[in-house]
């Protein structure tokens, strides 16, 4: 078999179509899961009787557990396969919602948060692996749209949370009902996903000719890219409701709209990202994304007008939408040891998940407004991410292995 034959893309068959529907559903469900409780974090804080900086601390504790999960997820998937890891992780994440909803003490809340953030790592990695395999089989890639479905799930979950909060539905009832609905979706997903995982094919001979110093420098940049991208995206999403609840004293229903504005902008940006990229090119798209992210966040956090803040969050969401998908793609194409680029990027994301909630919470607990605290973290991060992506070599210019597409098995 020739090298060209080994890189042939398998035919996208009926089983693959069914699997793609299932994986797409999982992306949507995963977004809706987190949108079910993040917009109501101010209420959760008040019910458990903790402060905003303690919310950040407990999110960071759960993030540490997520970082530990990222260290073992490869071995777990190797043992059980992506299909069962995705289903099991999604079930635990869903069941963590009512734990958070019924929490009236710190230990119970922390257990629920750990269940959400630690097991989401397994779902995230497994669904992206299956999505990547299925995307590689198609003539037209679908990874951007899969991430767009995740954003659409956050919009749907956030709008539902806003309406439910405005109607005065108790947290315990809301999150228990959401968990029941999402568990049904998990059963559907588990029946349709790929049954057999793809085995990677490595370009070992070429990898031996790579320069370790250049590889290490590129991997360090991927870590920094993940950290700065997460600082922009996650901070914008996680603290948007607090911007309105704490800085303006807005109602729970209106405060949740801050979360919705960010995620709605991200949904628009991700579904249109491929079209814009084809017309502007990745470099120009990167500059446009940075300008929209920075300008939108400045308006959302530094101007004391609620309607302007909502518009700013939406614009920022449109810009933020392309940051992570673009760097995920570059990390996946990083030559050398398979998975090295994505591993470094994921490490940066998890470090951000551990450190940023504490940092933003601590800043917000000072005399600064929540908006100012968000701005101090996100605006420099936009600049750092833009610089890092310019320093990274373009795909295909590394000295090292050339990625080799792998054969895949259909379910």
pLDDT in tens, 230-239: 888 888 888 8
pLDDT over 70 at 311, yes or no = yes
- Residue pair 117/66 in contact (Cβ under 8 Å)? The answer is yes
pLDDT over 50 at 3, yes or no = no
pLDDT at 213: 54
Q: Quickly state the pLDDT bin for 170 (edges 50, 70, 90).
A: confident
CA distance 279 to 382: 23
Cα dihedral sign, 39-42-48-52: positive
- Residue pair 343/75 in contact (Cβ under 8 Å)? The answer is no
| The residue to which tokens 């709605």 are assigned | 264
Average pLDDT over the chain reads 79
Q: Quickly state the pLDDT bin for 397 (edges 50, 70, 90).
A: very low
pLDDT in tens, 24-35: 999 998 888 888
pLDDT in tens, 54-101: 887 888 788 788 878 877 777 787 788 888 889 999 999 999 999 998
Q: Once rounded to an integer, what is the mean pLDDT over residues 37-57? A: 82
User: Residue ranges of the domains in the chain?
Assistant: 15-194, 209-393
Q: Which of 248-252, 278-282, 376-380 has the lowest mean pLDDT?
A: 278-282
CA distance 144 to 133: 14
The token duo for 93 is 């994440």
pLDDT at 355: 81
SS3 138: coil
CA distance 328 to 15: 26
pLDDT in tens, 322-376: 888 777 767 666 665 544 566 677 778 878 877 887 788 888 888 888 899 999 9
The token duo for 12 is 């996208």
pLDDT at 211: 52
CATH architecture, domain defined by 209-393: Up-down Bundle (1.20)
Record: fold of 15-194 = Growth Hormone; Chain: A; (1.20.1250)
pTM above 0.85, yes or no: no
- Which is nearest to 28 in space by CA: 165, 175, 108, 147? 147
């Amino acid at each position: 078999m020739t090298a060209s034959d080994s890189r042939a893309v398998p035919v996208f068959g009926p089983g693959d179509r069914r699997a793609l529907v299932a994986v797409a559903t999982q992306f949507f469900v995963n977004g809706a899961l987190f949108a079910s409780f993040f917009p109501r974090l101010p209420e959760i804080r008040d019910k458990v009787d903790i402060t905003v900086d303690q919310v950040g601390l407990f999110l960071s504790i759960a993030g540490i557990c997520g970082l530990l999960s990222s260290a073992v997820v490869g071995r777990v998937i190797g043992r059980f396969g992506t299909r069962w890891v995705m289903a099991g992780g999604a079930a635990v994440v869903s069941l963590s919602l009512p734990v958070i909803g019924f929490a009236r003490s710190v230990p119970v809340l922390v257990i629920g948060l750990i269940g959400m953030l630690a097991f989401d790592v397994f779902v995230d990695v497994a669904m992206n692996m299956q999505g990547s395999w299925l995307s590689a089989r198609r003539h037209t890639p679908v990874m951007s749209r899969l991430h767009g479905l995740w954003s659409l799930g956050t919009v749907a979950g956030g709008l539902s949370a806003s309406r439910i909060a405005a109607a005065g539905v108790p947290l315990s009832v809301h999150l228990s009902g959401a968990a029941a609905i999402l568990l049904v979706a998990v059963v559907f997903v588990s029946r349709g996903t790929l049954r057999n995982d793809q085995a990677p094919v490595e370009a070992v001979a070429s990898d031996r000719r790579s320069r370790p110093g250049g590889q290490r420098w590129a991997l360090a940049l991927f870590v920094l890219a993940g950290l700065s991208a997460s600082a922009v995206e996650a901070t914008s999403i996680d603290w948007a409701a607090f911007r309105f609840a704490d800085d303006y004293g807005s109602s729970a229903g209106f405060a949740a709209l801050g979360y919705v504005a960010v995620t709605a902008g991200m949904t628009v940006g991700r579904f249109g990202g491929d079209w814009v990229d084809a017309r502007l090119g990745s470099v120009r798209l990167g500059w446009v994304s940075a300008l929209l992210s920075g300008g939108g966040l400045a308006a959302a956090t530094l101007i004391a007008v609620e309607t302007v803040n909502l518009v700013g969050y939406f614009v920022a969401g449109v810009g933020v939408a392309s940051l992570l998908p673009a760097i995920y793609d570059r990390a996946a194409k990083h030559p050398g040891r398979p998975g090295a680029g994505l591993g470094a990027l994921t490490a940066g994301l998890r470090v951000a998940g551990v450190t940023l909630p504490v940092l933003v919470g601590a800043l917000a607990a000072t005399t600064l407004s929540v908006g100012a605290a968000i701005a101090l973290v996100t605006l420099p991060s936009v600049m750092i991410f833009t610089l890092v992506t310019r320093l990274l070599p373009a795909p295909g210019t590394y000295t090292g292995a050339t990625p080799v597409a792998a054969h895949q098995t259909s379910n």
